[in-house]
Amino acid sequence: MYKLSALAGMALMLTLGFAQPSASEQTDKSDPLAVLAPFVGEWQVEGQWAAGEKLHARGVYQWGLGKKILKVQTFVMNGDKEYQRYESIMAWHPKKKCLYEITFAFDGKISEVIIEPKDQDTLHIGYTPFHADEDQNVRQILKFKDKDHFVWTVNLKQGEEWKQIIEATWERKSGKAAK
């Protein structure tokens, strides 16, 4: 009995001694993922594509693997039915020394993009090619207006020109930022 208690006590001391800060405490500036923390939660958007089609979508952002990745699911309305269009992972790429996102689409396509923080409220996605030998044809800007709203701008390369195809504001569904 003593041996089991001693082992349990040692395990408890080791656990407490090496305890990790909670998710809400891990937003310090040395954490490259801290810039992604404001996204955690559920978001919705209603917008209009440049060609005139309406967009009704929602995104669910949640931490995974001990807050080393941000998992994203994007759902889009098609008529009166919702379907999952994308599943993404945002993370720190240790070899490239940058944030990046890998996205899996409903049709089997996969994209990898670099995420570049431009200031405390703005991210540029797809401005720098993930693979040096492949051009990026889509660029996105995510700019927080406040903790519950961010403007999403998407530009598509057509020939040698960039054309804006949507600008819409995502709103936090619960109305409250996640802690």
* 109, two tokens: 């396509």
Q: Left, alpha or beta for 93 (phi > 0: left; psi -120 to 50: alpha)? A: beta
Please determine, for residue 80, whether its predicted confidence score (pLDDT) is greater than 50.
yes
Query: Is the distance from CB of 169 to CB of 152 less than 8 angstroms?
Result: yes
User: Which tens digit of pLDDT belongs to each residue from 103-159?
Assistant: 999 999 999 999 999 999 999 999 999 999 998 999 999 999 999 999 999 999 999
In a domain, 49, yes or no: yes
Please determine, for residue 33, whether its predicted confidence score (pLDDT) is greater than 90.
yes
User: Which tens digit of pLDDT belongs to each residue from 90-113?
Assistant: 999 999 999 999 999 999 999 999
In a domain, 108, yes or no: yes
Give me the residue label for tokens 């703005």. 122
Domain span at residue 50?
30-172
The chain-wide mean pLDDT, for the chain, equals 87
In a domain, 87, yes or no: yes
β-pair type (69-78, 54-64) = antiparallel
CA atoms of 153 and 140, how far apart (whole Å): 5
Non-local (6+) Cβ contacts of 108 within 8 A are: none
User: 154 or 26, which is more confident?
Assistant: 154
What's the number of domains the chain is made of? 1
In a domain, 43, yes or no: yes
Residue 55's domain is classified under what CATH number? 2.40.128.20
In a domain, 20, yes or no: no
In a domain, 15, yes or no: no
Query: Is the distance from CB of 113 to CB of 105 less than 8 angstroms?
Result: no
In a domain, 4, yes or no: no
* 56, two tokens: 């009704």
